[in-house]
């Protein structure tokens, strides 16, 4: 039998029968099950809110009667794997409004709830592994070499025809196997809990990513196990190894990620959001002044109309006209042809302002991310968020898809003549509207008596069956490769580097 296998079996047996691992098993089961149950309820609420919003959005589209009212609300459904890794799922919002006057640059959060409870951040499985289980690994592995050196067991093992290489590999395999047993049991318990919930649908892609999340977990904890072996091989005393490992754990899990954020803020400061808001308000003011000036120059009291909110003698801007004379319709159409291009132009200018501000935020974030890669804890989080579809890259893709959809929607409206015909503000045919030439304003009631519709409720909704439909579907491979692949390679490389470093130091170190 291979010496590596014998040492691994001994290490596994000692650990699996120890009180520490038994406590770890109980803790893993309790934490995984509790966290999964809580986040499953949270997911159900977010899914119900999303479904209700989708129905509301569809109903609103069915009530659109003129193109000036056409606004599409897009809601991104919650990611099923957010019950394992919330990531940025709840912080960045999930719904945007798309229209000729709205360029989507940020998403709003659906639903209400108690905003004061946001101070209590949800604890997902990834966060538990990132903090608690990495500390648990240290508590198991800190004396894996120096402890046996102190007791003399290591010298006894080395007296047999076995190389230090076999000892090192055997201890690693046996130790990691004993650690992954309770974690696998907890992971399976969470999977069973997910599987019996009728509100959560995991298909092959989700189960594949679920398995990938466990593989990332194993790689992350392997880093701490190898780090523990490295420190244990260097130091002579178990107590000293534990102190050093606790210090390194604090640095890796807390100091590096938080320090990276602080450094990024100092190196790449960003202007306050109020500056963008002031510039946006200035653009809106300029736009309103242009419209007001045009309206003042083209004001007329020679047309009368009956409409949803259109009054006789108003400026030539209408968004919903029930019925009016042919001259009034043409007057409103001329105003619309001035208003619409300017509204689109200023909407895009304001959107560009917010995009530029977001790019400054992103540059600061990228710097913080790159600095945080010194911490395996942050790398593990980024891999997990990428596999779960709850990372920043997935949110950015949703916003980009919404912006692309706006272009498609604008092209559709252009094809339908929404920006160049009276369909912008009325559903009636211009040819059906009589001329008011020679008609006194006092005869207005008689003028419209025989015209339909009689009220706005009688107006038929627009036929939007050919309108483009938004789709945010993303292949699992795109999500994984988009945000997590490079970090996954880095974590594998870090494991190999630590294993080689531990081996080099252990081979040079005296056994006694």
Q: 97 pairs with which residues across the strands?
A: 73
Strands 323-324 and 305-306 turn out to be antiparallel
Q: Which pLDDT score, from 0 to 100, does residue 115 have?
A: 46
Domain contains 130: no
Q: Is residue 351 part of a domain?
A: yes
The whole domain housing 345 covers 274-368+407-458
Q: Number of structural domains, the chain?
A: 1
Whether 257 is in a domain gets the answer: no
Q: Per-residue pLDDT averaged across 343-365, rounded?
A: 94
Specify the pLDDT at position 118: 47
pLDDT at 50: 92
Q: Where are the beta strands (DSSP E) in 323-477?
A: 323-324
Residue 12 CA from chain centroid, whole number: 40
Q: How far are the Cα atoms of 21, 148, 215, 231, 271 from residue 154, in angstroms, in the given order?
A: 22, 5, 31, 16, 60
User: What percent of the chain has a predicted confidence (pLDDT) above 90?
Assistant: 49
Which tens digit of pLDDT belongs to each residue from 421-474?
A: 999 988 888 887 777 765 555 455 555 555 667 777 888 899 999 999 998 765
pLDDT per position as a tens digit, 463-505? 999 999 998 765 444 444 456 788 999 999 999 999 999 988 8
Residue 451 lies in a domain: yes
Give me the half-sphere count of Cα atoms (radius 13 Å) on the Cβ side of residue 16.
14
Give the C-alpha separation, 512 to 510, whole Å.
6
Q: Which residue has the higher pLDDT, 456 or 336?
A: 336
Most confident of 5-9, 284-288, 316-320: 284-288
Q: Is residue 321 part of a domain?
A: yes
pLDDT at 58: 92
* Calpha distance 34→123 (Å, rounded): 10
Which of 266, 497, 270, 487 has the alpha carbon at shortest distance from 387?
A: 487
Q: What does the pLDDT read at residue 215?
A: 94
For residues 194 and 40, is the Cβ–Cβ distance under 8 A? yes
Report the range of poorest mean pLDDT among 6-20, 180-194, 327-341. 6-20
Residue 415 clears pLDDT 90, i.e. is over it? yes
pLDDT class of 393 with cuts at 50, 70, 90: confident
Indicate whether 241 pLDDT > 80.
yes
| Interior/surface letters 218-251, b for 16+ CB within 10 angstroms, e for the rest | bbbbbbbbbbbbbbbbbbeebeebbebbeebbee
Task: Give a yes or no: residue 289 inside a domain.
Answer: yes
CA atoms within 13 Å, Cβ hemisphere of 295: 15
Report DSSP state, residue 131. I
Per-residue pLDDT for 155 more than 70? no
Q: CA 386, CA 37: separation in Å to the nearest integer?
A: 22
363 within domain boundaries: yes
Q: 160 versus 2: which is more confidently predicted?
A: 2
Say what the pLDDT of residue 311 is: 39
Average pLDDT, the chain: 85
3-state per-residue secondary structure call for 38-93: HHHHHHHHHHHHHHHHHHHHHHHHHCCCCHHHCCEEEECCCCHHHHCCCCCCCCCC
Q: Which of 43, 253, 261, 58 is nearest to 137 (CA)?
A: 253
Confidence of residue 328 (pLDDT cuts 50, 70, 90): confident
Burial 444-469 (b: 16+ CB within 10 A, else e): beebbeeeeeeeeeebeebebeebee
Does residue 353 have a pLDDT over 50? yes
Specify if 281 maps to a domain.
yes
Residue with tokens 């913080």: 368
Looking at 87-96, 158-167, 353-362, 410-419, which range is the least confident one? Answer: 158-167
Chain-centre distance of CA 15, in angstroms?
A: 39
């Amino acid at each position: 039998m291979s010496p590596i296998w014998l040492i691994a079996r001994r290490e596994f047996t000692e650990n699996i029968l120890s009180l520490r691992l038994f406590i770890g098993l109980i803790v893993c089961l309790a934490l995984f099950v509790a966290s999964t149950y809580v986040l499953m309820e949270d997911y159900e609420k977010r899914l119900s809110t999303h479904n209700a919003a989708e129905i509301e959005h569809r109903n609103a589209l069915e009530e659109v009667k003129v193109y000036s009212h056409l606004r599409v609300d897009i809601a991104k459904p919650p990611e099923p794997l957010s019950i394992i890794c919330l990531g940025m799922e709840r912080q960045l919002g999930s719904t945007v409004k798309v229209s000729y006057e709205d360029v989507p640059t940020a998403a709003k959060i659906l639903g209400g709830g108690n905003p004061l409870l946001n101070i209590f951040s949800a604890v997902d499985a990834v966060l538990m592994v990132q903090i608690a289980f990495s500390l648990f690994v240290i508590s198991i592995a800190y004396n894996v070499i120096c402890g046996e050196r102190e007791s003399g067991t290591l010298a006894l093992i080395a007296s047999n025809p076995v190389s230090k290489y076999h000892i090192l590999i055997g201890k690693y395999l046996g130790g990691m196997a004993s650690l992954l047993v309770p974690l696998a049991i907890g992971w399976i318990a969470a999977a069973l809990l997910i599987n019996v919930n009728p509100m959560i649908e995991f298909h092959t892609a989700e189960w594949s990513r679920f398995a990938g999340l466990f593989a990332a977990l194993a790689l992350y904890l392997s880093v701490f196990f190898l780090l523990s072996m490295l420190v244990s091989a260097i130091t002579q005393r178990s107590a000293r190894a534990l102190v050093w490992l606790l210090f390194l754990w604090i640095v890796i899990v807390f100091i590096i990620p938080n320090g990276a954020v602080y450094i990024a803020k100092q190196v790449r400061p960003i202007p306050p959001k109020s500056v963008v808001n002031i510039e946006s308000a200035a653009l809106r003011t300029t736009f309103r002044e242009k419209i007001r000036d045009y309206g003042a120059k083209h004001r007329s009291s020679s047309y009368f109309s009956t409409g949803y909110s259109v009054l006789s003698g108003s400026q030539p801007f209408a968004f919903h006209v029930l019925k009016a004379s042919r001259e009034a319709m043409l007057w409103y159409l001329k105003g619309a042809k001035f208003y619409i291009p300017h509204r689109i132009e200023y909407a895009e200018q304001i959107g560009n302002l917010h995009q530029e501000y977001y790019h400054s935020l992103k540059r600061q974030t990228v710097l913080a991310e790159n600095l945080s890669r010194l911490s395996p804890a942050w790398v593990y989080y980024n891999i997990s968020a990428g596999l779960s579809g709850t990372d920043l890259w997935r949110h950015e893709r949703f916003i980009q898809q919404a912006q692309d959809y706006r272009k498609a929607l604008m092209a559709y409206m252009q094809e339908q003549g929404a920006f160049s015909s009276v369909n912008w503000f009325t559903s009636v045919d211009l040819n059906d509207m009589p001329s008011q030439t020679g008609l006194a304003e006092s005869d207005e009631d008689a003028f419209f008596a025989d015209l339909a519709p009689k009220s706005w409720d009688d107006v038929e909704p627009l036929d939007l069956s050919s309108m483009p439909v938004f789709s945010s579907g993303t292949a699992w491979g795109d999500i994984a490769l988009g945000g997590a692949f490079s970090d996954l390679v880095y974590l594998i490389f870090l494991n190999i580097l630590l294993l080689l470093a531990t081996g080099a130091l252990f081979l040079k170190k005296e056994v006694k």
